[in-house]
Amino acid sequence: MPATKAYAALNPADPLVPFQFDRRETRPQDVQVEILYCGVCHSDLHQVRDEWGGSIYPMVPGHEIVGRVIKIGSEVKKFKVGDLAGVGVMVDSCRTCKNCKKEMEQYCVEDMTGTYNAMERDAVTIAQGGYSSQIVTDERYVYSISPKLDLAGVAPLLCAGITTYSPLRYAGVTKGMKVGVVGLGGLGHLGVKFAVSFGAEVTLISTSPSKQKDAERLGAHKFLLSTDAQQMKDADSYFDVILNTISANHDYKKYLDLLDLDGKLLIVGLPPEDPKVKPFALLKNRRSITGSMIGGTKETQEMLDYCAEKNIVADIEIIPIQQINEAYERMIKNDVRYRFVIDMKTL
């Protein structure tokens, strides 16, 4: 069994520490990937600290994985040794239910298998993520990556990228639509890039005045400071679509009020406590709230190909694995521009 070096959380309270475990032997449909970079998602932090409940330890986080194929099983079709490859938030699903058949495996009726903080489908192995030297995954859940793009900048596309691409596509975001993106973090900055590339008029809705310049550099047309009551009032009923990426506790009403007739609040942020919703804010303008979880295998590959065509990658700060605990603290302080990516050579 391939011995694997990693960093893991052993409980919700202590920092991540060096850790070693065995990956499974490569099965006929498996691809073994040497991990070169792994993005740091706010979901890693939520789960390490058990903010959603039910966390499984020891936990090797990381679901924004890119690297090089070092071994393939006898039946693998999509990859050969030496190819660049990516693994995202999901490593398995039942493969037979109606949603799996539509390649929307993230909505598998029997639940997808998360890349970490989950049990594999054998119900005995803990799935372990990308803060590690290598990963062995069925090729269905492994993506091809264009060598045209900066590889470290591609890593965050595997979660932050697809999580923002999918709901914006689902909402039919197109030329001329008024789109608000709430929160300029890992997800938000890619949400801005995608919405701009789809031709929308994009407004960053943020609590951080210091991010206005960056929002403009990323292509946003307008900036709305959500802590300024007058600015929020002036934007009442303005937007067609608002993508909410907030990681901290908050109420939805503040953002619902900004939606025009038939406007949609797209929820991707997962704060520890459930936000409040006022029915009156929904009734006005026939607004709706839609949740969205990452994307299926087909759409994830489509998104990666779209990024290669449009030259879209994340804005990143590369860190050695030894700085992961400090990176988490900086993420809580909202001090990340706009995604940490771990250089796995440092492991």
Selected range binding Zn ion among 151-159, 212-220, 224-232, 254-262, rule: CB under 5 A: 151-159
Asked if residue 48 binds ligand NAP (CB under 6 A), the reply is no
Bridge partners, 201 (sequence order): 178
Distance between CA atoms of residues 271 and 13, nearest Å: 19
Q: How far is the CB of 89 from Zn ion (least distance, A)?
A: 6
Contacting residue, 6, 16, 41, 60, with Zn ion by CB under 5 A: 41
For ligand NAP, what does the binding mask look like between residues 232 and 271, x meaning CB under 6 A?
-------------xxxx-x-----------------xxxx
Selected range binding Zn ion among 6-14, 90-98, 149-157, 214-222, rule: CB under 5 A: 90-98
Tokens in use for 280?
A: 């009156």
Cβ-proximal residue to ligand NAP, closest one = 185
Asked if residue 55 binds ligand NAP (CB under 6 A), the reply is no
Strands 84-87 and 142-144: antiparallel
Q: Is the peptide bond before 338 cis (omega within 30 degrees of 0)?
A: yes
**Other CB atoms closer than 10 Å to residue 87's CB: what's the count?**
26
108 contact partners, CB below 8 Å, separation of at least 6: 93, 94, 97, 99, 100
Tokens in use for 33?
A: 């990937």
For residues 122 and 279, which CB has a smaller minimum distance to Zn ion in the complex? Answer: 122
Tokens in use for 191?
A: 């949400």
Tokens 């009032």, residue located: 233
For residues 67 and 183, which CB has a smaller minimum distance to ligand NAP in the complex? Answer: 183
Tokens in use for 1?
A: 């069994």
> Residue 20, SS3?
strand
For residues 41 and 289, which CB has a smaller minimum distance to ligand NAP in the complex? Answer: 41
Which residues between 43 and 72 bind Zn ion (CB under 5 A)?
Answer: 43
For residues 4 and 292, which CB has a smaller minimum distance to ligand NAP in the complex? Answer: 292
Asked if residue 177 binds Zn ion (CB under 5 A), the reply is no
Asked if residue 99 binds ligand NAP (CB under 6 A), the reply is no
Backbone angles phi, psi at 62, to 5 degrees: 110, 110
Asked if residue 88 binds ligand NAP (CB under 6 A), the reply is no
Distance between CA atoms of residues 27 and 86, nearest Å: 18
What residue ranges bind ligand NAP (CB under 6 A)? Answer: 41-43, 46, 159-160, 163, 183-188, 206-208, 211, 245-248, 250, 268-271, 292-294, 331, 334, 336
